[in-house]
A = this chain, B = another copy of it.
Amino acid sequence: MEVRLAKKHGFCFGVKRAIKIAEKNKNSFTLGPLIHNYQEINRLQQNFNVGLEEDYTQIKEGSTLIIRTHGIPKGDLEKIKAKQFHVVDATCPFVTKPQQIVEKISQEGYQIIIFGDITHPEIKGVMSYAKNQDNTIVISDLQALKQQKIYQKVALISQTTKQIEKFNEIASYLITKCHEVRIFNTICNATFDNQQSARELSLEVDVMVIVGGKTSSNTKQLFMIAKENCKDSYLVEDEKEIQKEWFYGKKICGITAGASTPDWIVQKVKEHIENI
């Protein structure tokens, strides 16, 4: 089987940075998964004794506590800082930015509209910075927005991993409804580049394999984009999930990987498919 890798794929700046931070802080804890990739989290646990804890009250004070790449809600951060922890912030700077925008712009009286997944930790964190939680809206698509009460002065921001085309669709709708729309393109460049490469590659192959965590938002976006052009697209966490039948009668397989997928997993998947 011929295998082609997407031009841009895998680790982004924020993930690389967070892993470096974790490796430097042995014997620490992350509050929730540092990144959405359990293999990499296991590696950090085994090689650097970086533990994973969902509830900070379970962690002994005095410990080093690493804030995950997706950030955490403002109130949680304040509570942690009030305790005797050594806090190390591995929030991706591209996530800190929308947090800051939401804090500043909501204070200026704009209704905050976030294009994102309300269950995703990044969005829970970002929306917590809005001054007025009552009129802050999180929407997964344009349809959801149409059900909401929209004010005349709004600010639109995006989860860092969303598709720009869908963000623009939402912006266009708001422009027809509001006097002023402040639009902050908070989609990160790595996301944009990985998506663009996935789009291009999926047009020239018979089958696409997307490697990444099943809870990873950007990996799921890559899967959706690949599927638009190549109906035989599959999302796997590692090479063990690959099924031979996917490749019957196919000549070329494209591979891409989410921003939290380490290269060593991509390489294993690649070798596995090449040997089919």
Contacts and interface: CB of A to CB of B under 8 A. Distances in A.
A184 B179 contact: yes
User: How many A residues touch the partner, as a band?
Assistant: 10 to 19
B172 A180 contact: no
A47 interface: no
A183 interface: yes
Interface in A107-133: none
Interface in A181-218: 181-185
A164 B168 contact: no
A172 B185 CA distance: 11
A171 interface: yes
Given A181-B183, A183-B183, A172 B176 contact: no
A179 B185 contact: yes
A111 to B, nearest CB: 15
Contact of A182 (B164, B167, B182, B185): B182
Nearest to A168: B172
A178 interface: yes
A21 interface: no
Interface string A21-46: 00000000000000000000000000
B175 A171 contact: yes
Contacts of A179: 184-185
A172 B234 CA distance: 31
Contact of A172 (B172, B181, B182, B184): B172
Interface string A145-173: 00000000000000000001001100110
A182 B175 CA distance: 10
19 contacts: A164-B176, A167-B175, A168-B171, A171-B172, A171-B175, A172-B172, A175-B183, A175-B185, A176-B185, A179-B184, A180-B182, A180-B183, A180-B185, A181-B182, A181-B183, A181-B185, A182-B182, A182-B183, A183-B183
